[in-house]
Structure formats: C-alpha cells, structure tokens
Structure 1
Amino acid sequence: MTTVLLILVALGFLSIVVEDIVHIDKAKTTLFFGSFAWLLFFIAPPAHLSHDALMKSLNDNLLDIATLWLFLMAAMTFVAYLSGKGIIDSLVNKLLPERISERKLMLLTGVFAFLFSSMADNITATLVCIAVLMNLNLPVKKLMRYVVLVIFSVNAGGTALITGDVTTLMIFLAGKVEIPDLLLLSLPAAGAVAALALMLSLGLSEEVHIKKQNNVIERGDKVIALLFFGTIVGTIAANVAFGIPPVLCFLFGLSLMFMVVQFLNKDEPILEYIRKIEFDTLLFFLGVLLLVGMLKELGMLAYFPALYDVMPPVAANFLVGLASALFDNVPLTAALLNSGIEMNLSQWLSLTYSVGVGGSLLVIGSAAGVIAMSKIEVLTFGSYLRYFGYLLVAYSIGFVAVLGLGLLV
C-alpha cells in the first residue's frame, strides 16, 4: 500500500507538470489524487496503524490546511477589495513614473517583494506584488520574468526574520542561531535576489509606459487600506509578543473591515468580495497540501537526516534546499532538528537559508509559487521550469555568500 500511495502522490505532482498537455485544471487533479490517497490510507493503512492513529494524522494535516486556507481567504479578500476600489492602481500611479526602464522596474520589483515579505508573510506579499504587476499590462513573456523574481524574492525576504518564515523560527527556537546572526543573513539573501534580477533583466532594453489615472479614493477606502496595513503590522507584533497565530489576527482584521464598511457605507455589498476570490486557488492549495501531507505520513522525510552521515553538512544543506522545492520545508526542517545532527553556526545559517529559499526553484515548492500559478494563467510548471538555471545560480550565489558570512560571525 505504501508503494500505491507514493504512486498516487507522484501522479498528483505529475498532473501539475502536464496540465498544458492534458488540459485538465491542476486544482481538479491534485484534489483528486490527494483525497484518493488519503481514502486508501484509511482503507488499507501501512504498518497496520490503528484508527486512532489514522484520525490523528488526518486531523493534524487538516488543521494545517485549514489554517493556511483561512489565512489565504482573508488575505485574498483584502486584496480583492483594494484592487476593486482602485487603491492598488493609485499606489502604482504614485510610486512609479510614467516611464521607467524595464531593468529598473525589475530591480524595484525585487526590492519591493523582498522588503514587503520581510514585514508581512509570503502569501500577502505575493498577492500584492502580483496585483501590482497585473495592473502594468506587461507582455506575457516579460511578465513571466517579473513573476519569477517575485516568487524568489518573497521567499528570500522572510529567511532573516523569525516572523518571516516558519522554518527560520523553528531553527531559532531550537537554539541553533541567534537574532543578530539571522539579521546578517538578510545580506546574502538580498544578494541572491539582486543576482537573479540582473540575470532576468538581460535582454530587456525598452521602457514601460504607465498610464496615469486620476483615481478618486474615498475616505472609507483609505481607512480600509490603513486597516490592511495595520493588520499586517499587528499580526507580526501579536505573534512576537503573545504567540498569536497569524490566521487569527487576519480573520480579526477581516471582520474589522466588514464592520468598518458596514458603518461607513451600508449599501456596499462587502461580502461579495469573498465570492470574487479565486476558489480554484484554494482548491489547488488543498490538493497540494494533501499530497505533501501524505508524503509526511509515509515517512519520506525521515531519509533526509541520513544525508549528513554520507556527506559533509554543507553539501547536505545545499541538497536539502533543493529537496525543499518538492517537500514541505516545515516538516523537513522538523525532521532535521529532531534527528540530533550536529553543525556549527555557519552550517546552521546555511540550512536556514536553503530551506527558506530552496522552495523557489520549482513553482510548486512554496506557497508563493502555488498562489502565483493559480493567479496567472501563463505561469505553469513548465513555463517556470525554463528559468530553473537562473534560479539555481541565484540560489547558489546566496548559499556561498551565507557560508562566507558564517566564517565572519
């Protein structure tokens, strides 16, 4: 049965790769294979697990999925409202000139995505960045380059803060790294983003013309924009001070948005914005997480600590980063921490970087990539894979820079 389940998981991921060939929406196929695998897991459980053990496994996975689902729903509703009211258009009009070179826009995109994801979470940063890029009406091939940079940048931006990436927080709580060391980690991560931006800007020599529009933003909509920013800041503060899960803060922020709109404009059908979010994105997310959860339950992550017995820690860390493009980096990091492997500070910093940034190498390797693929039709597994060489070089540059940083600290 373990073999059958692994085949189903492989078919689920393969269905994403061949979506352009079979013309079946990846949300349908991943949900089918993910739910089917869990059904068989209950019918003929490997290792003859008890029903209680099966229920605990399912409940743990559903809890993780529900947390991400609700967070994503809240963030997408915020962004749908701000986009529908023209606030994002207004932001673009104020921040960008009427004409800007494509190379300069590439650099600004990387910087904005990197910094925004350092303050917010990867999901929110990706949604906002994509909304801004879509409003620029870029040619499809050029849009792909900017989106690839956004995915890499938002993953790199969160590696240096315990609030920016769960794996960074896990390694910090385990006592492997300190806050000052992590803050220095932002330098190699930013260097990797800069290297990727430079490579992706090769061949871009034209200017982007931005149509300036005089959008009149009503007072109530400005209040909602401030509320969105306050929700992001409050989420970080509440998590650091009281350990409150981000999903709870975002749901509270969403409820505040509903109440504010109710009192400022009673005729506004605010709940309609929930219906405007792309539920195929949520279903795709659900299917992918069911597949990843099954890999975890089958014990596939238990093999990775063995890498450190057959190769140097630095080489193993580099490969673990590559593996995080296929495996969820949170249980992967937990498996490594629980294995008791011994490494010095430089090596722990390289692991922090690799599990945080490595997921960018494949579009299905991070939440940012999954969301972007669901929001942008031309972004598929295959189209993203064409940039794998650029991404691998940028990832490697950052990794080597982290090793150099480790020697200094």
Structure 2
Amino acid sequence: MPDFLPYVLISLALVGLLAVVLEEVIHINKAQVVLFLGALSWVLLFMFTPDADHHQRVRAGLDENIAEIASLWLFLLAAMTFVAYLNKKGLIESIIYKLLPQQISERKLLLLTALFAFAFSSLADNITATLVSIALILSLRLPAKKTLRFSTVVVFSVNSGGVAMITGDVTTLMIFLAGKVSITNLLLLSAPALLAVLVLAALLARPLTAVATIDRQPSEVQRVDVVIAVVFLMTILSTILCNVVFDIPPVLSFLTGLSVMFLVARAFGEDTETHPILNYIRQIEFDTLLFFLGILLLVGSLKEIHALDTFVRLYEFLPAWAANYLMGLLSAMIDNVPLTAALLKADVTMSLQEWMSLTYAVGVGGSLLIIGSAAGIVAMSKIPALTFGAYLRYFAALLVAYSVGYAAVLLLGQFVTR
C-alpha cells in the first residue's frame, strides 16, 4: 500500500464529516456526499493494492463491511415499515391521547418523554425506540424550537437506556462477550444512565413554562391495526429473547415479524390491489439508509488501514478512567463499534470499574453530536429542523449530563465486585 493512501482516506473521511456539518451552508444532501466518499475510499483501496495477498485482504474487508451494512439496512427497513404503518393509521397518537391528560405542563411532558424513551430502549433496540419516540413527539405538534428540545432529550435517553442491556447496544454486547463485565454489572449501569437522563431533562426543561394542550383528535382504530401493533410488540420481545437464548441475529427476527405483518394484513383484507401493504415500504426515508451506507463505508475503509488503532495509544499516556472519558467524546465523531473492537483487540488492562466506565462512555458519548449514533441519525431524518447545527446548541447541556453519568459510574464502580 502506498504511503500516501492512508492520508488520502483519512482526508476523505474528514471531508465527509464537514459535508454533514455544513449541509445547511453548501446545500448538498449529506447522504449523497458521504455515499460518494465512502464508495471512493474502497475504490482507492482496491486500485492501490500492491499484491494478490493484500488484494484478498481488502476484498475480505469489503465483504465484511457490506455484510454489516446489509444487516443494518434490512433491520431498519423492517422497523421503519412497522412504525410507518402504525403512525399512518394513527395508532401511536391514539395511545398517547389515552395516556396523557388533556393539559399537562411542558416540563412534565418533557420528563415523561425522556422516561419513555429510556425505558423503551431498554426493551427494544435503539433504532426502534427512536422511531417510536420521534413519532410520539411529532404527534404532539409542538412548536419547532420545543420539538428540537424534545428530540434532543430523546436521542440522549435512547442511547442511555440501551447501555445497560446486551441487546440494547452493540458495544455493550461486545464488552460482555469479551468477559470484561457481567450481566449484573451491566444492569447496575442503568442507575447512572438514568441519572444522566434526568439531569439533561432538567437542564432543557428550564425555559419551558407553558402548558401543553393535547389535541384529542378522534381516530378510528381498526382491529387489524391492533393486531399489527401486537405483532410489532411481540417482534421486539422475541428479538430480545431469541438473541439471548438462541443467538439469532435481530435482523432475522425483525424480518420474520415483518413477514407476519404482511400475512396478517392480507388475512384481514388490508392488503388490496388499490392499497397494497407493501406501499408502506415506500414511505421509508431512504436518505437515512443511504447516509448509513456512506458513513459505514467510510468507517470501514478507516478500519482497513488500521487508522482507528491509533486511538488505543491514549491509554499509554493517560489513566484509564480519563482515556475512557475521551473515548466517549470520540464516539460522537467516530463509530463506537470499531473503537471498542480496537480496544478489545489491543487487550488493554483495566479494572472492572474502568470497563464499566468504558461501556457507559462509548454507549452514551455518541449522543453528544447528532451524527454520533444511529439514534441521532434516525431522528435527524425524521425531523427536518434537527440539523447538526441545531443539535449543537445543546452540546453544553449534553456534555454536563454525560459527565454526571460518567462520574456516577466511577463512584458506583467503587462498590462493585465481580
């Protein structure tokens, strides 16, 4: 491999990051830019392979990268189709109207939204929890500025809720499978993570002084809608159970649930020639999927040149607790999965307390920037006003909440033993 190639690939990744940050300025769709740069990175890797062995390694790396992307795409397709159907039918709004009072203070509403997103992401995956939570926010029809506050809390709460469950976050599962923490240790992380969510909700709720009026618009919920909602819930629960008991990939469980949804719709006469059930797939934001594709291609190319391994050197110059804190900050800009993989591969020596703090940091740290987590990217695709710059306004509050949660993890670790 030529010496200049790693620098070129890193430069392309930085250009992609700038394109996302400056989307409002350059007026070029971020998905288009990162897709081009991601594909170009792999083209360059193939063009400058010095020998057959290196070419095979690049090919194997691309195959692995594409397999990861395909799994994510199919999972998103299934989850988004469920949510698109239920949202279109007004079922989500109907449930909200029944649970909430007609009038409620916006502060209390923000807190309830945060708790719902936190709890739901502990049961479901982050992407599904984000889709449902954002649908809830949009149904409330709040002013744009207040919608941004609510969506910021949702992104942070969703990432925080999943950090304590092996089914809630990939990095949590990776650290658990490596034998660094136990299930019990992970469950204890829910307390500091919840504390961080409450801190953020309190900070962002301060300017909210009005009383929200829930517009109870009657909606006719059909029997088929209720059955499909049950199928969706059962799909989420069976995904968790089958993954833990049989190690079945979540994407397979969700595709099975999606096929059951199609069959149920057909059985109830909901799938007709004039209104085919497959039309709901067309309502998915494919910009989101293309953006994911480009980002993961870029990160995959960086992984191929071992650019992410350099971050492991932080542990040579800083104590583990400080390096872990910085790894959380880095995960807001770089995919936390390869960062965690690099640390595990390097076999960094850390105590149980420090592994717990790393689990929290890489799981929640991605919330600091809107592009730092799948939850953020999904939320950004659903709410046009939620841009990189708009989310950045709340960076100080997000950093305070993240730091409070991290400090609580370190304190908790003092009392935890294997």
Both proteins in one fold, TM over 0.5 = yes
Letter in 2 for 1:236: I
- Report how far residue 249 of structure 1 moved: 0.3
Aligned to 2:415: 408
Match of 1:361 among 364, 368, 375: 368
Worse overlay, 286-295 or 132-141: 286-295
Is the CA contact 1:328–1:365 (under 8 Å) kept in the aligned structure 2? yes
Letter in 2 for 1:32: F
Separation in structure 2 between the aligned mates of residue 47 and residue 119 of structure 1, nearest angstrom: 48
TM-score of the superposed pair, with normalisation by structure 1: 0.98
Match of 1:276 among 272, 283, 287: 283
Separation in structure 2 between the aligned mates of residue 59 and residue 124 of structure 1, nearest angstrom: 26
Letter in 1 for 2:55: H
Aligned to 1:398: 405
- Report how far residue 269 of structure 1 moved: 1.1
Aligned to 1:225: 229
Q: Tell me, which stretches of 5 or more residues in structure 2 are unaligned?
A: none
Letter in 2 for 1:98: Q
Q: Any idea what the Cα deviations from partners look like across 1:238-279, whole Å, max 9, x if unmatched?
A: 000000000000000000000111111142510100111111
Worse overlay, 294-303 or 252-261: 294-303
Separation in structure 1 between the aligned mates of residue 210 and residue 37 of structure 2, nearest angstrom: 44
CA distance 1:300–1:288, shift in 2 (3 Å): same
Is the CA contact 2:134–2:151 (under 8 Å) kept in the aligned structure 1? yes
Is the CA contact 1:9–1:294 (under 8 Å) kept in the aligned structure 2? no
- The SS at the match of 1:208 is strand
Give yes or no for the alignment of 1:11 onto 2:15: yes
Match of 2:220 among 189, 200, 216: 216
CA distance 1:93–1:47, shift in 2 (3 Å): farther
User: 5 Å matches for 1:111-150?
Assistant: 111-150=115-154
Separation in structure 1 between the aligned mates of residue 392 and residue 374 of structure 2, nearest angstrom: 16
Aligned to 2:379: 372
Separation in structure 2 between the aligned mates of residue 113 and residue 177 of structure 1, nearest angstrom: 25
Aligned to 2:349: 342
Letter in 1 for 2:382: K
**Identity across aligned pairs (percent)?**
58
Separation in structure 1 between the aligned mates of residue 364 and residue 157 of structure 2, nearest angstrom: 9
Aligned to 1:262: 266
Give yes or no for the alignment of 1:172 onto 2:176: yes
Give yes or no for the alignment of 1:200 onto 2:204: yes
CA distance 1:378–1:45, shift in 2 (3 Å): farther
Q: Tell me, which stretches of 5 or more residues in structure 1 are unaligned?
A: none
Separation in structure 1 between the aligned mates of residue 48 and residue 330 of structure 2, nearest angstrom: 28
Match of 2:25 among 17, 21, 24: 21
Give yes or no for the alignment of 1:381 onto 2:388: yes
- The SS at the match of 2:140 is coil
Separation in structure 1 between the aligned mates of residue 51 and residue 171 of structure 2, nearest angstrom: 29
Q: Any idea what the Cα deviations from partners look like across 1:344-398, whole Å, max 9, x if unmatched?
A: 1111110110010011011111000111111111111111111111111100000
Give yes or no for the alignment of 1:250 onto 2:257: no
User: 5 Å matches for 1:314-333?
Assistant: 314-333=321-340
- The SS at the match of 2:180 is coil
Corresponding residue pairs, total: 409
CA distance 1:163–1:400, shift in 2 (3 Å): same
Letter in 1 for 2:291: F
Separation in structure 1 between the aligned mates of residue 246 and residue 300 of structure 2, nearest angstrom: 28
- The SS at the match of 2:163 is coil
Give yes or no for the alignment of 1:96 onto 2:96: no
Is the CA contact 1:363–1:381 (under 8 Å) kept in the aligned structure 2? yes
Give yes or no for the alignment of 1:313 onto 2:316: no
Is the CA contact 2:58–2:304 (under 8 Å) kept in the aligned structure 1? no
Separation in structure 2 between the aligned mates of residue 86 and residue 79 of structure 1, nearest angstrom: 10
- Report how far residue 298 of structure 1 moved: 2.1
Separation in structure 2 between the aligned mates of residue 158 and residue 46 of structure 1, nearest angstrom: 43
Give yes or no for the alignment of 1:237 onto 2:244: no
Letter in 2 for 1:159: V
Separation in structure 2 between the aligned mates of residue 15 and residue 128 of structure 1, nearest angstrom: 28
- The SS at the match of 2:277 is coil
- The SS at the match of 1:308 is helix
- Report how far residue 46 of structure 1 moved: 7.8
Match of 1:152 among 153, 156, 163: 156
- The SS at the match of 2:221 is coil
Worse overlay, 339-348 or 103-112: 339-348
Q: Any idea what the Cα deviations from partners look like across 1:310-344, whole Å, max 9, x if unmatched?
A: 11110011001111111111111111111121111
Aligned to 2:55: 51
- Report how far residue 48 of structure 1 moved: 8.6
- Report how far residue 306 of structure 1 moved: 1.3
Separation in structure 1 between the aligned mates of residue 170 and residue 391 of structure 2, nearest angstrom: 25
Aligned to 2:82: 78
Separation in structure 1 between the aligned mates of residue 351 and residue 51 of structure 2, nearest angstrom: 37
**Displacement over 4 Å in runs of 4+:** 46-49
TM-score of the superposed pair, with normalisation by structure 2: 0.96
Separation in structure 2 between the aligned mates of residue 157 and residue 47 of structure 1, nearest angstrom: 46
Worse overlay, 220-229 or 27-36: 27-36
- Report how far residue 45 of structure 1 moved: 3.6
Q: Any idea what the Cα deviations from partners look like across 1:145-201, whole Å, max 9, x if unmatched?
A: 111111001100011111111111111111111111111110000000000000000
Aligned to 1:41: 45
Letter in 2 for 1:279: F
Separation in structure 1 between the aligned mates of residue 42 and residue 391 of structure 2, nearest angstrom: 29
Separation in structure 1 between the aligned mates of residue 303 and residue 197 of structure 2, nearest angstrom: 30
